[in-house]
Structure 1
Amino acid sequence: MPHIDYYFATLSPFTYLSGTRPAEIAAKNGATITYKPLDIMALFARTGGTPPKDRHPNRQEYRLQELRRRALRADMPLKPKPAFWPTNGAPSAYAIITAQNEGTGDVGKLVQNFGAACWAEDRDIAQDDVIRDVLEQSGFSPDIADKGLMTSADTFARNLEDAVAAGAFGAPFFITDTDERFWGQDRLDDLDAYLAGDL
């Protein structure tokens, strides 16, 4: 059975724009998927990337245009300059890690809903009340926010190390068990084609 490691950041607009497609592509192709939230700024620092605020104005302007276009193509609401960005992505990542470990719900939907809270709803996904609400909206117990914090912190740190070791340098980043790598939500069609044996 094929497998996908999905490296992402809850703060990434392009993770948000991936929607639930990673899970749908995995299901369609009989693949399993492991969600690996990480600290995107630390990943940039480790792999030669530059945080958006430090990029040349030309790159910043292009990013805003690309966000608008990608959101229109995906038919998803998106605020290119949300009220609570950047914020601390760790608490939402911990909730995702715990939810995945519990194995009782739709983690893809949870990832999507955290992205929507930040990028479409102007909510601060570092806040406990927002995290609990997103968990509940996604079909999980809000109490997950209080569980396994040490384990989640360890996993969050390990995901960064795993990403660097596996060759990831941005988010979203998809790596198959055959070491085929796909960077960006705009490469999901390629991931799908690869898993189907068409690429």
Structure 2
Amino acid sequence: MSKTIDYYLVPQSPWTYFGHQRFVQIAKDAGATVRVMPMDLGKIFPISGGLPLGKRAPQRQAYRLVELARFSKSLNLPLNLHPKFFPVQGDPAAKLIIAVDMHHGTDAALAITGAVLSAVWHEEHDIADAATLAALLSKHQLDAACLKLSNTPEVQSRYDSNTQSAMDAQVFGAPSFVIEGEMFWGQDRLDFVAHKLKL
């Protein structure tokens, strides 16, 4: 029987960017069901001990840049260490992913997630801008109406529900993968995710 993976993410996370395509392939190879669950880390950090990037100690911020460069080279994924549009408000893109999921289904939601992540970290686009999001929909041949849908109370309710679900699952960072109640935090835990899916 195939397993279900709750995929908790934020669309402005470089770590989610690094892991996204590998995760999609791992889930596909395992025949797993993915629930794409963008969440609001701004609500999770205060109850989990996390801090927004700008409030972290200088040595932590400096080491983050070292690690980003290492992973970019190791994974052969292009990444701008200082993207033009970062920090960036993630809510509009998160809600667009939810809207695409509702309108087109999981595969499309995963595709637009990858596009949004690449837009921030590789292509230097502003994912808080409606025109950018509309262009990404068009590029992936997804219904332009998803942008309007993303601003509805229905989508906001699902965004809030995802965030509460993340809290209930003890999620504190992105990306996080929850399989049968077991959490795996970080793109560098994907080998463990793959192993779990084989059990």
TM-score range relative to shorter protein: over 0.9
- The aligned amino acid for 1:67 is L
Q: Does 1:158 align with 2:186?
A: no
Larger CA deviation: 139-148 vs 123-132: 139-148
TM-score normalised over the length of structure 2: 0.93
Q: Runs of 5+ in structure 1 lacking a partner?
A: none
Go from structure 1 to structure 2 and tell me whether the alpha carbon gap of 1:37 and 1:23 turns closer, same or farther (over 3 Å shift): same
Q: Runs of 5+ in structure 2 lacking a partner?
A: none
Counterpart mapping for 1:128-139 below 5 A:
128-139=130-141
Q: Deviations over 1:8-28 (max 9, x none)?
A: 000111111113222221121
* CA-atom RMSD in angstroms: 1.3
Shift of 1:76: 1.1
Structure 1: 4+ residue segments shifted above 6 A:
none
Q: Is the 8 A contact 1:124 1:130 kept in 2?
A: yes
Q: How many residues matched?
A: 196
d(CA) in 1 for partners of 2:163, 2:20: 22
Between the aligned residues of both structures, percent identity stands at: 33
Q: Deviations over 1:161-187 (max 9, x none)?
A: 1101011100000001x2111100111
Alignment partner, residue 48 of structure 1: 49
Q: Is the 8 A contact 1:106 1:139 kept in 2?
A: no
Shift of 1:89: 0.9
Q: Is the 8 A contact 1:38 1:93 kept in 2?
A: yes
Q: Does 1:172 align with 2:175?
A: yes
Larger CA deviation: 79-88 vs 55-64: 79-88
Shift of 1:137: 2.0
Alignment partner, residue 93 of structure 1: 94
- The aligned amino acid for 1:47 is S
d(CA) in 2 for partners of 1:141, 1:103: 8
SS of the aligned residue for 1:21 comes to helix
Alignment partner, residue 149 of structure 2: 147
d(CA) in 2 for partners of 1:41, 1:77: 27
Alignment partner, residue 27 of structure 1: 28
Q: Deviations over 1:118-175 (max 9, x none)?
A: 1111111011110011122233122210125211111111111110101110000000
d(CA) in 2 for partners of 1:189, 1:134: 30
Counterpart mapping for 1:3-18 below 5 A:
3-18=4-19
Q: Is the 8 A contact 1:132 1:143 kept in 2?
A: no
TM-score normalised over the length of structure 1: 0.93
- The aligned amino acid for 1:3 is T
